[in-house]
Structure 1
Amino acid sequence: MSALSSQEPSPKRRIGAEKSETRALIVDVTEQVIREEGYAAASTRRVALRAGLNPSLVHYYFPSTDDLLLAVFERGAAQSDAMIAAALASNEPVRALWQFFRDDSRTALSVEFIALAIRRPAIREQISAHASAMRAQQIALFERVLGERLAQATGCSPAGLSVILAGVGRALFMEAALGVTSGHDEAIQCVEKWLDALIPSP
């Protein structure tokens, strides 16, 4: 089955045990393929070959390619949620969130799923819903920690700050992947000086 199949995911149909080692292996291998070759390369046949499994077994757990891709996304989303929760609970949540946005290991997968969401309307809604929920968490954090100081010092809103931090982190990753790093250190310094001015170190 091609990774570009238009077959829609099965929203209420989850085949095979959720905690099966075989299912976990399939998701692991699919993520590896996405990271190394992009989501379009994650066909059932390619994943089965890399995992040393029969393609029919992959179909047993994931009836469609979209089901398989969504499983990878859902696991990554849960991991990101846990990392953000840890950042929000830290002593310096805004700086911790900035470090989260600079985490290349998460950004690489995020960029692939952004591309997937653009091209696959069948699963765009779920990816968009998670991104919107993350944005709402970040806005609430900035409102709580920075309050009016953010607008007074920068003229920026909490929503705007969320977009800026996420966008800079994503841009750094995408340019570095192309071998373009000019200005990266300066951009990081700009953001960190900005945060220092907003939140002086204790």
Structure 2
Amino acid sequence: MLDQGYGAVTFRSVANAAGVAAGLVQYYFPSLDDLFVAVLRSATDRLIADLQRATESDQPLRGAWAYANNAAGTALLMEFMALANHRSAVRAVIGEGGERVRQALLTTIRSRWAAYGLDENTLPPAAVLFLLSCIPRMIYLEESLGTVTGHAEATALVERFLDQVEPPTA
């Protein structure tokens, strides 16, 4: 999907990649929507488990920032979002998965907000988490189109904020 786009995903291409017959793939996933939904749900479950481990450290905001800066993950998400424009079943699962991921991160981050010396009313953790998530994705999208102005400054701004609330350990 990353190499050729979502349009190249067929029962045959999935079967070839898995080393099985196309009929077997279609037996377990009667439609491509079923296949995409299963992949998204499984990936979301794994991602939440990985993020919970990463954010259980002393630096959950840095864990969230690192997750959002994963170029391959962002590219795959963008490809699934393009697919979601044409498949409502996929759109619903992406939305549901996004909420699950965001809520899992928010639970961890909110529990540390006071220790950071931050006021939830002045600087809501959900807003900060949203910005940490969307800035790298928007940078990825814009850079793929050749737009770069402000990217380094936005990244530096986030890094300064992280240095203040979660000073580097190494």
For 2:40 and 2:160, locate their aligned partners in 1 and report how far apart those are by CA, in whole Å: 33
For 2:12 and 2:70, locate their aligned partners in 1 and report how far apart those are by CA, in whole Å: 31
Alignment of 1:9-20 (within 5 A): none
Are 2:34 and 1:81 equivalent residues in the alignment? no
Equivalent of 2:89 in 118, 122, 135: 122
Are 2:3 and 1:59 equivalent residues in the alignment? no
Per mean C-alpha deviation after superposition, the further-off stretch among 178-187 and 55-64 is 178-187
Are 2:104 and 1:137 equivalent residues in the alignment? yes
Alignment of 1:41-190 (within 5 A): 41-48=8-15, 53-147=20-114, 149-151=117-119, 155-190=122-157
**Against the structure 1 CA distance between its residues 51 and 151, is the aligned structure 2 distance closer, same or farther, given a 3 Å change threshold?**
same
RMSD of aligned Cα (Å)? 2.6
Are 2:139 and 1:195 equivalent residues in the alignment? no
Task: Letter of the 2:36 partner, please give it.
Answer: L
Q: CA offsets per residue over residues 154-192 of structure 1, 9 Å max, x none?
A: 933111111111110211222233344443322211101
Shift of 1:60: 2.1
For 2:13 and 2:55, locate their aligned partners in 1 and report how far apart those are by CA, in whole Å: 38
Q: CA offsets per residue over residues 112-162 of structure 1, 9 Å max, x none?
A: 22333343222333322221121112222232112383347x933111111
**Against the structure 1 CA distance between its residues 95 and 65, is the aligned structure 2 distance closer, same or farther, given a 3 Å change threshold?**
same
Once the two structures are aligned, what percentage of the paired residues are identical?
A: 33
Contact 2:11 2:22 in 1 (8 A): yes
Q: Which runs of 5+ in 1 are unaligned?
A: 1-33
Query: What is aligned with 1:23?
Result: none
Per mean C-alpha deviation after superposition, the further-off stretch among 90-99 and 50-59 is 50-59
Q: CA offsets per residue over residues 40-68 of structure 1, 9 Å max, x none?
A: 32122343455565432321232111111
For 1:119 and 1:145, locate their aligned partners in 2 and report how far apart those are by CA, in whole Å: 40
Alignment coverage as a number of residue pairs: 168
For 1:123 and 1:59, locate their aligned partners in 2 and report how far apart those are by CA, in whole Å: 18
